[in-house]
């Protein structure tokens, strides 16, 4: 099974982009469309878009790499195996490249836990989410369901 996070990261890497908003512009779709694909795990529309753009093989059929044990495997397989192993041992991984933001988010989360304010922090972050995704309707977008689904998958 192909992981939606890996595919989106492959697209970001392919175009050398940092945000899903930039990717939406590049793919000529709206940012909420990409968010819906991501939250639903919808790979088929991404495959279709990649075929239309002529980049399907670059994203989904990566060149074979030789594994350290001499076996041929794709980069996609390596990423999926690594992700599975990290989940198995409770190791959290992130695709967040901006280390300054990562530092801030980690320290804010730790402080909120110490002060028993994680629910307040979650509410504040949800407000920020909608601030930076202005096209999403706060009353219609099922953010709680998306968060619950993400929590179960992680």
pLDDT the model gives residue 79:
74
Could you tell me the CA-to-CA distances from 31 to 16, 53, 132, 134, 154 in Å, in that order? Answer: 17, 18, 11, 10, 23
Look up residue 149 and give its two tokens.
């689904």
pLDDT the model gives residue 80:
73
pLDDT of 70 strictly over 60: no
pLDDT the model gives residue 26:
92
Sign of the four-CA dihedral 113, 115, 119, 120: negative
As a whole number, mean pLDDT of residues 18-29 equals: 92
Look up residue 131 and give its two tokens.
């601030």
| Bridging pattern class, strands 64-66 and 72-74 | antiparallel
Across the chain, mean pLDDT equals 84
Is the pTM of the predicted complex or chain greater than 0.85? no
pLDDT of 33 strictly over 50: yes
- When pLDDT is cut at 50, 70 and 90, the band that residue 25 belongs to is very high
- Is the pLDDT higher at 47 or at 96? 47
Among all chains, which residue has been given the structure tokens 């709680």? 144
- Measured between its terminal Cα atoms, the distance across the chain in Å is 16
- Is the pLDDT higher at 69 or at 56? 56
């Amino acid at each position: 099974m192909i992981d939606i996070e890996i595919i989106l990261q492959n697209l970001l890497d392919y175009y050398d982009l940092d945000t899903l908003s930039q990717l939406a512009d590049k793919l000529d779709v709206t940012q909420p469309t990409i968010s819906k694909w991501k939250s639903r795990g919808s790979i088929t529309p991404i495959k279709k878009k990649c075929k239309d753009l002529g980049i399907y093989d670059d994203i989904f059929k990566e060149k074979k790499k030789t594994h350290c044990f001499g076996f041929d495997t794709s980069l996609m397989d390596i990423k999926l195996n690594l992700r599975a192993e990290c989940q198995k041992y409770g190791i959290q991984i992130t695709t967040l490249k901006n280390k300054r933001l990562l530092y801030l988010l980690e320290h804010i989360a730790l402080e909120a836990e110490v002060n028993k304010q994680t629910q307040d922090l979650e509410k504040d972050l949800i407000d920020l989410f909608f601030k930076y995704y202005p096209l999403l309707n706060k009353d219609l977008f099922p953010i709680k369901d998306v968060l619950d689904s993400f929590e179960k998958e992680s």
